[in-house]
Structure 1
Amino acid sequence: MIMTYEWVGITDSADELSEMILQSEQAAKYRDAYDSVYSDKLLAREIHDFARLKELYEEVQRFGKYHPDYKRVMKQIRVDKRRLDLNEKVAELRLAENELQDLMDQVSFILGRSVSEAVKIPSSNPFFSSDSSCGSGCGTGGGCSCSA
């Protein structure tokens, strides 16, 4: 690829935009929440243990109720997930993640629309999705509540 002045300008603008995002209130809240969770050694250990349990859960799912540890793993994953979900620091981290994701969705939407109305914009927020309810090509013949 040949670097032109236009290309250099685009990369400079992209760097400036990424720096603005990193300096945003949403990014700062995310970093604070992340640090709060992972600086708590006990909580960090619980998260690590839960990640290992999720791996076991995936193995158990392959065999279903025929796996010898099925009942134990299924119960333990629910108990541990509930405990993590109810942890205030984890809840704050999830909220901060969602707020930062919303910012990223807004930026993606603005960038995509500045190029063309036809640009497909991946988003976790349906408001910013460029697809109609049927635009994703569900392929199920109306299974996504659209009329085929």
Structure 2
Amino acid sequence: MMMTDEWINIIEQADQLTEMLLTSDVVEAYRKAQDAVYSDAKLAKSIKEFTDMKERYEEVQRFGRYHPDYNIVMKSIRVQKRELDLNEQVAALRIAENDLQQVLDEVSLIIAESVSGSVKAPAGDGFFSSSSCGSGCGTGGGCSCSA
């Protein structure tokens, strides 16, 4: 591929768009919410413990009720998840993630439609989409602490 003036212009505009996104209020709110979660040592420890329990949960799921730790793991993971779900900082991070995802989905859709109405743009959830196919094709995002 040969670098033409048109490609250089596209790259420069993409850089400008990136800078606009990175300095936006939505990204700032996301960064603050993420910092609030991961700078809290107790909360970060809870997230790590939940992540470790998820690994045990996946192991137990392979054997189902026949696994000797099935009941313990199933109860423990529900309790840990509920504690994280009820944490105000985690809830704020999830809201900030959803807000950021919505902005990224909208930008993707605008770019895709500017190329052609038949170009499909990824969308974070099944509710946001006005693309020609009628639904988004992205996998969406969740709270990074529960990934």
- Regarding TM over 0.5, the answer is yes
Whether the aligned pair in 2 keeps the contact of 1:30 and 1:93 (CA below 8 Å) is: yes
Structure 1 partner of 2:128: 127
Structure 1 partner of 2:38: 38
The residue correspondences of 1:102-141 to structure 2 (distance < 5 A) are 102-125=102-125, 126-128=127-129, 130=131, 131-132=133-134
Whether the aligned pair in 2 keeps the contact of 1:120 and 1:129 (CA below 8 Å) is: no
The runs of at least 4 aligned residues of structure 1 exceeding 6 Å deviation read none
Which amino acid in structure 2 is aligned with residue 110 of structure 1?
Answer: I
Q: CA deviation at 1:127?
A: 3.0
Percent sequence identity is 57
Structure 2 partner of 1:61: 61
Q: Which runs of 5+ in 2 are unaligned?
A: 138-147
Q: Which runs of 5+ in 1 are unaligned?
A: 137-148
Q: How far, CA to CA, are the matches of 2:17 and 2:115 in structure 1?
A: 16
Please identify the structure whose Cα radius of gyration is greater: 1
Which amino acid in structure 1 is aligned with residue 60 of structure 2?
Answer: V
Structure 2 partner of 1:139: none
Structure 1 partner of 2:28: 28
Structure 2 partner of 1:74: 74
Q: How far, CA to CA, are the matches of 2:31 and 2:134 in structure 1?
A: 34
The residue correspondences of 1:87-102 to structure 2 (distance < 5 A) are 87-102=87-102
RMSD: 1.6
1:120 match: secondary structure: coil
Structure 1 partner of 2:143: none
Which amino acid in structure 1 is aligned with residue 134 of structure 2?
Answer: S
Tell me how many residue pairs correspond in the alignment.
Answer: 135
Which amino acid in structure 2 is aligned with residue 29 of structure 1?
Answer: A
Q: CA deviation at 1:33?
A: 0.3
